[in-house]
Structure 1
Amino acid sequence: MAGRPSTERPTLADVARAAGVSTGTASKALNGRLDIAEDTRARVLEAVAALGYRPTTAQWEPPRTRTIAAVTDVVDSPYVSNVLQGLLAAAMTAQTDVLVRLAPDRAVRATKAAAQAWVSEQKESGVVGIVGITLSRPNAVLQAARKVGMPFVMIDPVDVDDPRTVSVGSANWAGARTATEHLLELGHRRIGWIGGPAASAAARERFHGYRAALDSAGISLDRTLVRSDPFSIETGLVHGRELLALPAAPTGIVAGDDEIAVGVIAAARELGVPVPGRLSVVGFDDTPQAAWTTPQLTSVHQPLAGMGRMAVETVLAMADGVEPASRHVQLATSLTVRDSTAPPAAVAGTGPARR
C-alpha cells in the first residue's frame, strides 16, 4: 500500500491483496457467504479494518445473520428434540438463526391461498429457508414455497406427493431389516410388527425392511401379526395387548419407533409377560430414552442429530442457489443391542439359532 495518496480510498482489490486472497474471495467474505473458511474471512476483515475500507456501493450492508424456520407438528417428542439438537448445532456453526415453530393448522396446509399467505409471512419475517420435521399434509405449503423460491427441506416426510421435494432421512428399510434379522438370529420365528402410519414414507420403508427379512428367512408374512397406527406409546400399548392376547402370540415384536416399543413393553408388563424372557422387543430411533426403559431397549440407531445437521446444510445451500446433489438423502443406520432381546423361551440357553 506504500505510495498511495492519503486522499485515495482503498479498494476491494487492496483488501484482497492485503489479505492474500482473490478479489472474488474478499467479496464473498464480506457478504457472509458460507463457502469461505473462517480463517480466510478473519484475514479479510482484518485487512478491511487496517485499510479503513468502505464499499463504494450505497446498497452494501454488513453481513447479517440469516434465519431459517424449523416447523413441526409437535415438540414434546424425543425424536423431534434430538433432530432439533443437530439442527441448532449446525445453524450455530453456520451463523444462522433458527425459528422453531409449530406447523400451521391443517386447514391452512390444505388450502392453497392460506398456505401461500403463511409462506409469505415467513419470507417477510426474514426466513431464507424452511425445514419441516415429519410435517404431515404439507403439499400446499411445499407448492407455495416453491412458487416464491423459498427452499424447503423435509425430514422424514409424511403425505408428500411431489417427487421434487427435497428430503433427509435414514436408511429405514435397511434398519428395520437389521432389527428383524437380529430376532431371527436369536431363534425367533413368530415376529410381530407394530409400525407407524401408512402415510409416513419412513413407516412404509421400515415395514418393507421387516418383510424382506422374513422373506429372506423363508417365513411367510402373517398379517395377524401386523399393526400400524401413529408413532406413539399408546399405539404400542393398544396393539401390544392385541398381539400378546393371540392364541399363538409372537415371541418377538419389531416396533416402528422407540415410543411404540415403550408401549409394547408396558403392555407386556401389564399382562405379566416378561421381557425378554417371553417377549423380545426392538425399537427404532435409539433416542437417549431407549437406555432409560426397563429393560433397556434394543433399538435401531438412526442419526437424528445428523439428519438435523444435513437439513440445515441443504436448505442453506439451496438458499445460495445450489441444487442438492440428491433430492432424497438417507443416512446410515445401525443396531444398538441392549437388554430387551434374547432367544425365545423354547431355545433359551441353546445359543442363537442358525439359518
Structure 2
Amino acid sequence: MTVDDNGRPRAQYGLLTSIAQEAGVSLSTVSKVVHRRRDVGTATRARVEELLARHGYVRPWERDPGMPRQIIAIFRDLSGPYTLEVARGIVDAAGELGIHVVTGTAGRRSISQWLKEAAALGAVGLIVVISMLAEEDQRLIVEQRVPVVLVDPLSAPTLDIPSIGVTNWSGAKDAVHHLVGLGHTRIAMVAGRAHSLAGAARLHGYRAALEEAGIAYDPAIVRSTDFDYGEALAATSHLLGIERPPTAVFAASDAQALGVLESARQRGLRVPDDLAVMSFDDTVVAAMASPPLSAVRQPIEELGREATRVLLQMADGFPPASPRIELVTELVLRTSTAAPAKNLCGP
C-alpha cells in the first residue's frame, strides 16, 4: 500500500501537532505517548493523554480492533531484482507476524517527510533501504527516538541508528580468490561508487585478494560506476579496448555484470573462454544470464526479514545487540568463470 498525501492520516498528523503545541512538548513526545512508549514522564504522559482524549484522537490501530500494527519501508526506487527481493523479505516477515507494510520511495518525499507520515499513520517505525541519510534526517531520528533500521545505507550512519548489510569485503575477496585460483592475473573490476559503503568494501576486498596473491593493483583496469547496467556496459567497453585487456572481470553487482556480458558479446568475445565474469548479488537474474553468472550470493531476502525483526524489537523497547549487523555471503559457481585462454594470459 502507498500513502496518499490527502485524507485522514494527514489531518490526524495536524491534530497531533496542535496537541504538542498545546501541551508545550515536542511532536516526538506526543508520538511516544500515542505509541505508549515508556520513555515519557508520568505527568507529561497524563497531560498529553488528556488532550488526546479531549480532541477525540483515536489511535490508528484502535479504530478497528482487527487493524494490524504498521511499519513503513522506504526504498530509493522500486525497480530492480535486489529491491524486490528485499521487499519480499520485509513483507513476508511482517505478514507472518500480522504486521501491515506501507511502502514508498525517497525520490519524491524526503526521509523527514516519511518520519511525519509515520506519526500520522501510527506506524511503529521505518525500514530505509539503500538511501543516503542527510545529517538532518539522522538528527531527527535520534532526537525523536523513532525506531528506524537501515538496509545497505549509502553513507555511514550514526551508531544510534542500526544498519544491516552483508560481509561485502570478505565476499569480494572470495570472488577474486576464485578467479586467481583459475589462473587469472589480469583481473579487472567494474566497481561501485566510492561513496557507497557496499561499493567501497567490495573494492577493498578485491584489492586485498590481489595483494594476497602477489598481483599488483592496476587502477587502469578498475572502473567505478553506479550499480547500473548501462554504465557498466560503457565501462567494460573501455576496459576491453585497452592495450592489455583483462582476462577476467569482477562486477560489483548483477546489473553491472549483465553490462559486462553484453560488452563482451558486442566485441565477439566468448564467456568464459575469452573472458571470465564474476558477479556480486546473485539475484534471480544471475542464474538466468547467458551464460549463468558465477556470483557472490547475498542473502537478500533475509536482509529484509532481519530488518523487520530488529525494527519490531526496537519498537518494543529493546535495542539491537549491535549497531551494525552483517549477514554472511557465499560463493555460487556457475559457467561464467573458467581458466584463461593461454594466448590471453598476462604475465
TM-score (structure 1 length as normaliser): 0.76
| 1:21-69 deviations in Å (ceiling 9; x for gaps) | xxxxxxxxxxxxxxxxxxxxxxxxxxxxxxxxxxxxxx99657511111
Aligned counterparts of 1:310 and 1:293: Cα–Cα separation in 2: 28
2:156 matched to which residue of 1?
160
1:77 matched to which residue of 2?
80
RMSD over equivalenced CA pairs, Å: 1.9
Residue identity opposite 2:86 in structure 1:
V
**How far 1:94 moved relative to its partner?**
1.5
| 1:91-123 deviations in Å (ceiling 9; x for gaps) | 0112111011011548x45xxxxx2x4412221
Question: Radius of gyration: which is bigger?
Answer: 1
1:202 paired residue among 194, 198, 202: 198
1:96 and 2:92 are equivalent in the alignment: no
Pick which of 83-92 and 153-162 moved more. 153-162
Q: Is the 8 A contact 2:171 2:205 kept in 1?
A: yes
1:222 paired residue among 218, 222, 228: 218
| Structure 1: gaps spanning 5 or more residues | 1-58, 110-114, 349-355
SS in 2 for 1:127: coil
1:272 matched to which residue of 2?
268
Q: Is the 8 A contact 1:187 1:347 kept in 2?
A: no
Residue identity opposite 2:191 in structure 1:
G
Mapping of 1:131-146 within 5 angstroms?
A: 131-146=127-142
2:320 matched to which residue of 1?
324
1:174 paired residue among 161, 170, 174: 170
**How far 1:148 moved relative to its partner?**
1.7
| Structure 2: gaps spanning 5 or more residues | 1-58
Residue identity opposite 1:271 in structure 2:
R
List, as ranges, runs of 4+ consecutive aligned residues in structure 1 with deviation greater than 4 Å: 59-64
Residue identity opposite 2:98 in structure 1:
Q
How many residue pairs get matched?
283
2:308 matched to which residue of 1?
312
Residue identity opposite 1:344 in structure 2:
P
TM-score (structure 2 length as normaliser): 0.78
1:286 matched to which residue of 2?
282
Aligned counterparts of 1:202 and 1:264: Cα–Cα separation in 2: 20
| 1:151-192 deviations in Å (ceiling 9; x for gaps) | 111111112342332111111111100100110000000100
Residue identity opposite 1:90 in structure 2:
A
Aligned counterparts of 1:306 and 1:164: Cα–Cα separation in 2: 22
SS in 2 for 1:75: coil
Distance 1:277 1:104, change over 3 A: closer
Mapping of 1:289-304 within 5 angstroms?
A: 289-304=285-300
Aligned counterparts of 1:304 and 1:138: Cα–Cα separation in 2: 25
Aligned counterparts of 1:332 and 1:139: Cα–Cα separation in 2: 29
| 1:106-155 deviations in Å (ceiling 9; x for gaps) | 8x45xxxxx2x441222111211111110124443232222222111111
Amino-acid identity (%): 37
Residue identity opposite 2:245 in structure 1:
A
SS in 1 for 2:331: strand
Aligned counterparts of 2:288 and 2:102: Cα–Cα separation in 1: 30
Aligned counterparts of 1:197 and 1:204: Cα–Cα separation in 2: 7
Mapping of 1:185-196 within 5 angstroms?
A: 185-196=181-192
